[in-house]
């Protein structure tokens, strides 16, 4: 029998790679600003290029991955991730304009990250595992633990060796995808549907329920990233914490609670109703945003930020699972479009919270108040989806 556990381990490492790609460079933004004299406005382009590249890769996957083949594309994802992280260490000093070197490196590993995001879920979904919903939740938990590991290990590394050693750390992080190249090259990989039998983009978009899945993913991405990317700033503004402690108390703890949510469903999902778990999590998410936006007690507000990680943990993998159940012939196009919708929400959410915060005189609670629209809309979409499922 094929060793599908090896496939699962490769996908776990794939999500850890994606977490490194998404979380390592932001830890260096002030270092880039001070060492290379790059303005903070231009540094913001780094995150923009990362998410824009992922969106383009998602769209590419929807049309071409089935023609190229899963194995070639997923191995390419690890090659790009490793090359981009190594490039981050060297290209800023080799090119006349450091920002160009940084952005080129980010684009390269964002290509890898986008391929991982689209392909790991269908690769695991196609394996003959019991309880696919729980398996999918456990798979996505490794992004959370990868994010926690990236933040904690990087923070400790900088504390011991100093920020000037960041290039060595970039090369060390590149070893994770480099090792995983072999794993993906040798593990068994199945396909969800036979070649040419998967639903196309136009066919999916003709399904009203698929549009509901798209809306769920947009709201999931917005609810998750709006809180995750502003959790550190919230911790600093509300509690007066330092940047290092703010990172650990904000985005790091957010990732921990998000991972706990996915682990719980991954372990006990066979005893739970996924839709009820998602609706309960949606209600909790609304409460967390309310705490962050209206609570006069800064500790309560910070707890809202942290617990929000638990509330959004099931949303992304859960939406993938209920969409896979509803559209079993969705194929790669479905996974790619759902990933694109999640990335779109992840781009929109933090931007809206940031703009409202700035317009309100740097009042981050006002930004979170507007961000409340995302989990409220998400909860409404979940109730509609549950009703449609019951009527089926």
pLDDT at res. 392? 55
pLDDT at res. 379? 92
How far is it, in rounded angstroms, from Cα 373 to Cα 369?
8
The alpha carbon torsion through 185, 188, 191, 192 (nearest 10 deg) reads -130
pTM for the full predicted model = 0.83
Residue-wise burial string across 40-76, b where 16 or more C-beta atoms lie within 10 A, e elsewhere = eeebebbbebbbebbbbbbbbbbeebbeeebbebbbb
pLDDT at res. 73? 93
Among the listed residues 245, 217, 93, 57, the one whose alpha carbon sits nearest the alpha carbon of residue 167: 93
Among the listed residues 190, 177, 208, the one whose alpha carbon sits nearest the alpha carbon of residue 16: 177
Stretches where the chain sits below pLDDT 50 are: none
Among the listed residues 70, 79, 84, 74, the one whose alpha carbon sits nearest the alpha carbon of residue 22: 84
pLDDT at res. 65? 84
pLDDT at res. 157? 92
Judged on CB neighbours under 10 Å (0-12, 13-18, 19+), 14 is buried
pLDDT at res. 304? 86
The alpha carbon torsion through 241, 227, 39, 31 (nearest 10 deg) reads 50
pLDDT at res. 160? 92
Angle between helices 298-312 and 274-294 (to 10 degrees): 160
pLDDT at res. 243? 62
pLDDT at res. 72? 94
Angle, CA of 100, 42 and 108, to the nearest 5°:
40
């Amino acid at each position: 029998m094929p060793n599908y556990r090896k496939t699962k381990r490769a996908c776990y490492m794939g999500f850890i790679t994606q977490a490194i790609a998404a979380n390592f460079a932001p830890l260096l933004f002030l270092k880039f600003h001070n060492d290379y004299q790059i303005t903070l406005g231009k540094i913001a382009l780094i995150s923009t290029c990362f998410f824009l590249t992922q969106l383009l890769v998602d769209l590419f996957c929807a049309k071409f991955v089935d023609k190229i083949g899963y194995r070639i594309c997923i191995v390419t994802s690890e090659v790009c991730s490793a090359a981009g992280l190594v490039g981050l260490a060297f290209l800023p000093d080799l090119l006349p304009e450091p920002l160009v070197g940084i952005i080129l490196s980010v684009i390269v590993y964002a290509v890898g990250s986008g391929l991982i995001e689209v392909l790991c879920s269908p690769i695991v979904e196609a394996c003959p595992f019991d309880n696919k919903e729980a398996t999918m939740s456990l798979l996505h938990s490794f992004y959370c633990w990868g994010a926690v590991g990236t933040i904690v290990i990087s923070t400790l590394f900088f504390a011991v060796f100093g920020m000037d050693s960041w290039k060595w750390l970039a090369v060390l992080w590149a070893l994770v995808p480099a090792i995983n190249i072999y794993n993906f090259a040798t593990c068994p990989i199945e396909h969800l549907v036979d070649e040419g039998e998967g639903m196309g983009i136009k066919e999916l978009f003709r399904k009203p329920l698929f549009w509901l899945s798209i809306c769920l993913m947009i709201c999931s991405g917005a609810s998750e990233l709006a809180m995750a990317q502003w959790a550190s700033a919230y911790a600093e503004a509300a509690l007066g914490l330092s940047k290092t402690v703010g990172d650990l108390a904000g985005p790091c703890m957010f990732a921990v609670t998000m991972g706990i949510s996915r682990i719980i469903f991954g372990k006990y999902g066979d005893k739970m109703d996924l839709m009820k778990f998602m609706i309960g999590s949606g209600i909790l998410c609304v409460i967390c945003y309310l705490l962050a936006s209206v609570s006069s007690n800064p500790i309560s507000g910070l707890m809202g930020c942290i617990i929000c990680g638990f509330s959004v943990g099931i949303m992304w993998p859960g939406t993938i699972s209920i969409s896979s159940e509803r559209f079993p012939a969705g194929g790669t196009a479905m996974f790619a479009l759902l990933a694109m919708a999640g990335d779109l929400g992840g781009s929109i959410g933090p931007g809206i919270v940031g703009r409202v915060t700035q317009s309100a005189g740097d009042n981050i609670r006002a930004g979170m108040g507007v961000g409340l629209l995302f989990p409220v809309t998400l909860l409404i979409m979940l109730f509609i989806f549950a009703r449609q499922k019951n009527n089926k």
